[in-house]
Each structure stands twice: as structure tokens, then as C-alpha cells.
Structure 1
Amino acid sequence: MSHANAALTPRARLRLARLVVDAGWTYTTAAKMFMVAPKTAKKWADRYRAEGTAGMSDRSSRPHKSPTRTSPDTVRQIVRARWRHRLGPVQIAGRLNMPASTVHAVLVRCRINRLSHIDRVTGEPLRRYEHDHPGSLIHVDVTKFGNIPDGGGHRFVGRQQGLKNRAGTPDRPQSKHRNPLLGTCYLHTVIDDHSRVAYAEICTDEKAITAIGVLRRAVDWFNDCGVTVERVLSDNGSAYVSRAWRNACGELGIVHKRTRPYRPQTNGKIERFHRTLADGWAYARLYTSETERRAALPGWLHFYNHHRAHSAIGGKPPLTRLTNLPGHHT
């Protein structure tokens, strides 16, 4: 495609050049027909003689030499400051005594101008991975939400009314603190690495025996979807480092892998799912009781798996990646 200010397209250049070279037209006559300068007609005719049809396409306007371009050593200093200290163009420019616009141009050229492209902990570029088929790896974790008092929580009804609702909710745990407690909702989550299909259960604790039960039911659920689970990735929580968890994985024929300590990014898919879960279900609207919120979870999971567009898989719902679903191709 020719650039926006080009007077001639590649097809028009070829017609002009052929009139001059093949038909014997003068530069002036051919230029007048295409409403360009004779010098332009001569340029395309000479290029047609030398390169043929291929010479009619646009060439890069970048100069062969750029003596004032930022030196490679300075570029390395800019990139190092960006990676290690997560500094912006103004701060880096102050350290290196150079214009901030130059620093920004270097960051754009190196594709690290946005901090979202850099790991928050190490400062290194993000390394994303994805297993090549469903069931090759599933991620497991537990996330916690405070139970909702009868009448609604403070996020929707305000702090003062929220405290009144907490105090008036029956069957709540005894509290030694000033503010009444409502207990915790332990949500055990499982997500397939390739498809992002999710499975979740609300439990009363995060003990090993509970996590093992969730894993067994999740494996059966994935089997019903035509997916055979091969590996499971977890963090280093007490439930997942226990001997019971290891034995359960062995019985199910699943290889257990754990993330590096203090490195939640390795399990980033399920961590990101927890944020989506909080925004789309846990705190999406006013729930007048914990029972009402828990009753809404199955419907939201169905929406997430079957209908919600997922940006990481091309804007399609996760279930579309399970190509081995029973009856999928009928």
C-alpha cells in the first residue's frame, strides 16, 4: 500500500512507466496525463527499466545513515533503568542527562514503553505460556471472600448501614473484636490452562481433605467435558504440600507441579480469574444475603464458560476451545 501523500499508486506508476519505456512517450507528455512533474515521470521510468514491475512499490524513507541516532550504549542504559527500576521517561532522562522525548522514543522502539508489558516484581519482560491442548495443565487455588450480611454489605449500602446489617445477621460467629464477624467464603477454583474453562466450589475451609475433594470432582467434571487432566499446578499452600494431596494426585494419575515460592505470576491465569470472579460475581451487584450470592455462582460460571468473550483466546468463550466435547462436531 502506498503512503497517504503519494500522488500515484503502484498500478498508476506502472502505467506511466510503460507509456514512457514501451510506448515511447516523452516524460512531459506522460507526466501531463497523470498530472505529475516530468521529473517524477523520469524517476518511475528509470526504476522500471532497472527493476521492472517490482520497482513500482514504495521504498522505506529511512536514511541509510543516522549519525545523531542514540548510541547502543545509551540505549542499554535506558533499558536497564526501565527494567530494574521501572522508571518513566522523565526520571530516566534526569539520570542520563538527556531529553525525555529521546528516552520515550527508545522505549517505544524497544517495546517497553508501557509498564504493563513488564513484570512487576523482576522488571523483566513478561513471559507468557499456554499449553497446547485442554487438560495438559490445570491451575488450582483458593480465594476468600467475606460473607455478606443480611440486607447487604457496605460496598452498596454504606459503611454505617453495613455495620448494622452485620450486627443484625443471625447465626454469625462470635467475635472478640469490636466489629461483628460474618465468617469467610472459601472458593476453591480450577481453571484449564489452554481453554480457560473454569470450575469452582464454595467450601467451609481450605484444608487438604477439602481441596482433594474439589480436585476429584473437578477431574470428573472435566472428564464429562471430554478432557483428560494430565497435570495440576498449585501454589505452596499447606493443602497442596501435604502428603494426602500428593497421594490423591497419584491415584488420579495426575502430575503435580508447584509454583516457585513468592512467585504468584506462574499461576497468573487463575489469579486473573479470581479478579474476574470478584468483579463479575462476588461484588457485581447488591446481594441481600450470602445465600443469594452463593446461589448466583453457578449461573455466572455458566456465563463465563459459555458466553463471556475472553481476550486472551481471541475474544471467544472458553468452551469454544474444547474441540473434543461430545457432539461438538455434529
Structure 2
Amino acid sequence: MKRRTKKILIWSGSAVFAVLLLGGGIVWYLYHSVHQVADKIYEKTTKPVYVSKDPGVKKDIEPIFDNLDAFNILVLGVDQRENDSGRSDTMIVLTVNPAKNSILMFNIPRDTRTEIVGHGTVDKINHAYAFGGVEMSIQTVENFLDYPIDYYMKVNMEGFERLIDLVGGVKVNNPYTFKMQGHEFVKGQISLNGKEALLYSRMRYDDPRGDLGRNARQREILIEGMKSSLSLSNIVKVQGLLDEVGDSVKSNITFEDMKTFLTDYRPHIDKIDSVEIKGKGETINGIWYYIVPSEEKNRIHEVMKAHLQENVESAPLTQATAQ
């Protein structure tokens, strides 16, 4: 398998697994049948609790699922090979708030230039995983967003095509016609199976918006995958992949919290909002970075803060809501 194909499988596997988890598909089956798979997935982090510089962000306790507290998840799609610690090729933040009946989703562009917390360098944000694994990735993302991360999910898997096929494929609204490895994706609403979704997600260099365009397509597939995963028939179909998922996924979400999300949270979630981190490309010492200005980081912080607080109106997303 070519390296680039493997990379997109990794990000896609992580994103779709997160969709299935939040949509209830894999959780439903774990709840009834495979406690041991959840135990295999669970991996506790040892990082210190992040204290935001914003006095309006209080984080001295973990979310209490029994009280339907809002929480957030960092999804890491890791490109990890033998004898190589790898990099987090994809970073997606999901904030879940049942009081607002919604999930907020955004990518952190992998080339974003930022401080790598605990390493003493300024580098691309996806390098944090190579330097210090999950803990350094979380601390770096928390510092970048100035917001604590409650949970993480790390995936290194090659099951993207089957996962999409299991949920019956996805429908997307393609903004323009393009070709990828001999397959033509026409403009407009199109239906994609697993292989087609992989190619659709992978295209970057022919996109006028580059990596941002690819990120937008990733989020669209994530949203459509969540809609499909709410189907009971799809929940049944996921059964065959559980053993593979258990070997490829690590998370600090406990089995009990998974069950609570399914029974208590899922009925309250009926929409997904999407926001994009804005910046510009810049070459520094011969290396290309994505530069996010302080004003934009503050805006994303406020959007995240507003979504996670029960009685605060959401900050402007500056783009359409996906429902």
C-alpha cells in the first residue's frame, strides 16, 4: 500500500470511529457484548490538568456524565510505522453539549505553527505526537486553544473503506468536478462507497483551498457518517470490525462513560456545527507553516467556550451549520 493511501486511511479510520462512537454504533454493541474490547481500548493519560488563562473557563473536575455535562474529545489520526513514533496526521476536536443538542467540530490544520509544550520548540502542531506521544499532543492542543481537553481518541488503522461501507456509504455535496486516480467526482450531490470516500477525502493538490479544502471534505464525511451510524441496521453491521478496532484504537474514555453516553447523551444530540480555523501559509527558514494569528485563536477559543457552556449564546461560526 502506498504511504499516502495509508495516511488517509488512518485519518479516515479515526474520524469514522469517532462518528460511530458518538453516534452510538460501536458503543451499543460494546454495551451488550464486548466489555473486553473496551478494556483493550482504554488507556489512561498522565498529563497535568490544564488551567486556562481565561478566568471564565473553569476546569477543576472531570465531566460528570451522569449530570449530562458538556465535554470535548481530541481525535488523533496517527501515521505510525515500524521503528517510527509517527505524527498525528489529523487533529479533529469535537465538543459535545446535550444542553444545546449539538456537537461542534473543527480541524486543527496539521501544519499549524505553534509552541510544542514540553519540548521547548516552535514547530508544526502535528510534530507534538512524534516528540511526546498523546500527552504532548494534548498539552500542545490545550495551549493552542487555551482550553482543557477532556478526552482523546487515537487511531492507527486501515479499515476506512469497510467502515464507510458498513454504514451504507455517505452522500456529500461536491463543490466542483475533479478526478482522483482515474475516478471522476462530479459537481453536486454524490453518493460514495468506502473506496470512493477515501479518494474524495484524499484529494488536496487540485483543491483551490489546499489542506483547508481537504479538511472541509473530511468534516463533511464525518457528519454524514454520524447520520448513517444512528441506524440500527448499521449498528448490527459494525459487529464484524470490533476486534480490529480494539487493536487499533486507544482512548481514555471508560466503558462506563461509553454506556452513559449511549443511554443519556445520544437522545439529546440532533445537529453538528462546523467551524474552520483561519490563517495563512508562510515559509520560515525554508519550511512551510500554517500561521494562525492571535485574533483567530481567540475567536476559536470563544466559539469553543460558548458551545461548552450551557447558558451562553454560541459565538459566530462564520460558516453554515451542518445538520
- Whether the TM-score (by the shorter chain) exceeds 0.5 is no
Q: Output the TM-score relative to the length of structure 2.
A: 0.28
Structure number having the greater strand percentage: 2
**Structure possessing the higher relative contact order (Cα contacts under 8 Å, 6 or more residues apart):** 2
> TM-score, normalised on structure 1?
0.27
